[in-house]
Amino acid sequence: MHELAITQSVTEAIVERTGDAEVRAVRLVIGRLSGVVADSVRFCFDLVTAGTPLADAVLTIDEPAGQARCGGCGATFDADDILPRCSCGCVDVAVTGGDDLRIVSVSVVQAAEAADVPQGRGTF
């Protein structure tokens, strides 16, 4: 299952950028034509993030439909199959969207929140 390795890579990339900051939420885009099973990433997320700053993070995954253009008739159409076929029967199809895998956003706990210290001016 390559989703385990993908989830590990996503976790490592986030930790590289955020360090030890506690991560509250992670939002990914996994296109339906990406070849990655979003439900498998969801399953792996808790396993992979255990013991990391992402351990309690909420994972949200957007799954946009695939988009394709037929090389035969020129039609553009939605495609959810990894090997799309145009309604005209042509298999000369170019995928034009929905094949991406991206980290869209990461929400972290700010240092003041983590220490439960009110933000703003301190008392001197």
Q: Residue 124: inside a domain, yes or no?
A: no
Domain that holds residue 100: 2-109
What is residue 1's predicted lDDT score, i.e. its pLDDT?
Answer: 59
Q: Residue 7: inside a domain, yes or no?
A: yes
For the cut 70, the answer to whether the pLDDT of residue 37 exceeds it is yes
What is residue 111's predicted lDDT score, i.e. its pLDDT?
Answer: 66
Q: Residue 121: inside a domain, yes or no?
A: no
Q: Which residue has the tokens 């309690």?
A: 56
What is residue 110's predicted lDDT score, i.e. its pLDDT?
Answer: 79
Residue 67 belongs to domain with CATH number: 3.30.2320.80
* 0.95 surpassed by pTM: no
Residues 6+ apart with CB under 8 A from 37: 3
Q: Which residue has the tokens 């990406």?
A: 34
Q: Residue 120: inside a domain, yes or no?
A: no
For the cut 60, the answer to whether the pLDDT of residue 20 exceeds it is yes
Residues 6+ apart with CB under 8 A from 75: 69, 86, 87, 88
For the cut 70, the answer to whether the pLDDT of residue 113 exceeds it is no
Q: Residue 85: inside a domain, yes or no?
A: yes
* Other C-beta atoms lying within 10 Å of the C-beta of residue 96: 14
Domains contained in the chain, number = 1
88-111 mean pLDDT? 93
Share above pLDDT 70 across residues of the chain, in percent, rounded to a whole number: 88
